[in-house]
Amino acid sequence: MDFENLATSKLGVFGGSGFYSIDNLKNVQELSIDTPYGKTSDALLVGELEGIETVFLARHGRHHIFTPSEVPYRANIWAMKSLGVKWIISASAVGSLREEIKPLDMVLPDQFIDRTNNRPMTFFGEGVVAHVTLADPFCSKLTNIIKEVTEPIMPQGSNLHVGGTYLCMEGPAFSTRAESLFYRSLGCSIIGMTNHTESRLCREAEIAYVSLSMSTDYDCWHEDHEDVSVEMIIKNLNKNAELAKMIITSAAKLISKERPKSLAHSALKDALITPQDKVPEKTLKKINLLTQKYWR
């Protein structure tokens, strides 16, 4: 496997609802990057975090102007890739679909079910085909790092849950009660609107990805709890924001030291099907950042 440049690679962080900055990012530069897929959600903040150069991006924009379907996922991840990011921690608000996952708990899921239908989720097409392996969509090494730094600092009464299935829905409306009960019947643990799309694109971009999912509510299935609302989510996100920043800062320190190798870092090696000389020039220019180490 090709693990080039890990010693100098960067850490990426996506901040979700209520998480629009990292306070302890040092020597920050603000970058605007135009990509073949348009502009990113906002300016990228590049600085040093616990010994590793880190790129932060507010997924919905720092003023939360993009719905989950409108987030320019391809632009965001292409920009991260262009800056040398090899690992991404994605902080996100989720609803709980299980009794044991309480509001203010943290979850590190290991699987997805996708229910989105209105967003591009591949860099390929337009004359080139690639089929990446996505059986295990989250990087196990990043998951273990987050687990290691999170367990000792979880507040009393809150828990970290490792494993579980993230149901990714289209949004922006929350689930109907029937949908919520259906997702529970599938064995899903949490529900959100963004991470599956990011995970697929990160795999194509050969970036290791992990979700730090912050439980804010019980969706609408739980008869003993009020139905999910924006007010409830923001209230609980604000409570979790400082903890999430502590987790990411501690994880950055370990990632800086270990520079973990991931299977994601060579995901395109056997995935590209179309011969390079058959790919249209316009398409080749768009994907060159991703494929150049295989097509030289």
Q: Which residues are catalytic?
A: 217, 219
Name the strand (E) or helix (H) holding 194. Answer: none
Q: How does DSSP assign 127-163, residue by residue? A: S--B----SS-S-HHHHHHHHHHHGGGPPTT--EEE-
Q: Alpha helix locations (H) across the chain?
A: 73-82, 140-150, 177-185, 195-204, 230-258, 281-291
Backbone angles phi, psi at 7, to 5 degrees: -65, -25
* β-bridge mates for residue 168, sequence order: 114, 192
Cβ(46)–Cβ(85) under 8 Å? no
Tokens 């337009």 — which residue? 126
